[in-house]
Amino acid sequence: MSIASDGPSIYISVDMEGCADIVHWDEVRPSTSKEYARSREIVTDEVNAAVGGAFDGGAKAVTVNDSHSTMRNLLTERLDQRATIVSGRLKPNFMLEGLTPEFSAAFFIAYHGAIGAGEAVMGHTYSPRVIFECRLNGAPIGELTINAALAGAWGVPVTMVSGDRTTLEEAAATLPWAHTVETKRSISYFAAECVSPSAVCAALRSAAARACKAEAAKPFALPTPIVMEIDTYRTAQADHLELIPSIKRIAARTIRFESADFREVYRALQAVIYLGAAATA
């Protein structure tokens, strides 16, 4: 697509677990259930609020990447017609497919806490069947920080984040300049004190407009060399993953990858997700 040059261009990566009033896997696993159907409506409304807010804030182009599970969750016929939609998988850049250095800023909508975060509703890091813990330069992190680093590798700052309180705590540590919208306060893995979906949408629209002009924002960057370590759920997964020449196995369930370019680290992560899932079959 061509991006207009006379206003900010906004990229939106949208997950689902961090939406308002969603607290269980049966609400986010693609299926014919009424629970998933309702969640599709909720996430579509939240995306529309963020897109509308971006245009309120002066955006001239908005691209939305459906980033959850099969990546075909949004009710595209209901989406704001001004937005461009990236849908489906396999995507080489996964949750940030379609992002380029030409974008002014990125928004992360409906994000969730990392695997191991004690109170995060449905906390996981990309694949709950493969990744037991993910660390960057020794620090446990979640999808938010990893995706912010990939955006940063392209020189794009993340200026807005929505999700549960655990997610926003990670955002405060990683992206202190970002505008945030809290959708719920995690109580346990399957429980939360939730903000109403309509109130969340109103807050998203307002925050998105402000996030188009986040003057203090900067691309998130990690010191190099960048070392990613992943603990797998099963030793069989590490068995498969150590076959990749650039990945080293350093413990029974731990693999390691190092690079000065985070885009290479992210590609290795995709290999972990897909090959690790094949190893569980």
Q: Which long-range contacts (CB under 8 A, 24 or more apart) does 198-206 make?
A: 199/20, 200/19, 200/20, 200/46, 200/49, 200/162, 201/20, 201/45, 201/46, 201/48, 201/49, 202/49, 204/46, 204/49, 204/50, 204/53, 204/109, 204/162, 205/49, 205/50, 205/52, 205/53, 205/56, 206/53
The active-site residue, picked from 24, 68, 112, 124, is 124
- Whether the pLDDT of residue 279 is over 90: the answer is no
In whole numbers, what is the pLDDT of the chain averaged over residues? Answer: 95
Q: Give the whole-angstrom CA distance, residue 39 versus residue 18.
A: 11
Query: 3-class DSSP state for residue 44?
Result: helix
Radius of gyration for the alpha carbons in the chain, expressed in angstroms and rounded: 18
**pLDDT computed for residue 5 by the predictor:** 54
Q: How far is CA 256 from the centre of its chain?
A: 22
Q: Does domain 9-123+143-211 have CATH number 3.40.50.10780?
A: yes
Strand order in the sheet with 191-194: 84-86, 61-66, 9-14, 105-111, 158-164, 179-188, 191-194
Question: What average pLDDT does this structure show over 233-255?
Answer: 96
- Mind listing the pLDDT tens digit for each residue in 17-53? 999 999 999 999 999 999 999 999 999 999 999 999 9
- Mind listing the pLDDT tens digit for each residue in 209-227? 999 998 899 999 999 999 9
Asked whether the beta carbons of 189 and 120 are under 8 A apart, the reply is: yes
Helix, strand, coil content of the chain in percent (nearest 5)? 35, 25, 45
- Whether the pLDDT of residue 4 is over 50: the answer is no
Output the CATH code of domain 226-278: 3.30.1360.130
Any bridge partners for residue 193, and if so which? 185
Share of the chain above pLDDT 90, in %: 92
Residues in the chain: 281
Question: What average pLDDT does this structure show over 222-234?
Answer: 96
Q: How far is CA 54 from the centre of its chain?
A: 18
- Whether the pLDDT of residue 1 is over 50: the answer is no
Annotated catalytic residue 124: yes
Domain ranges of the chain: 9-123+143-211, 226-278
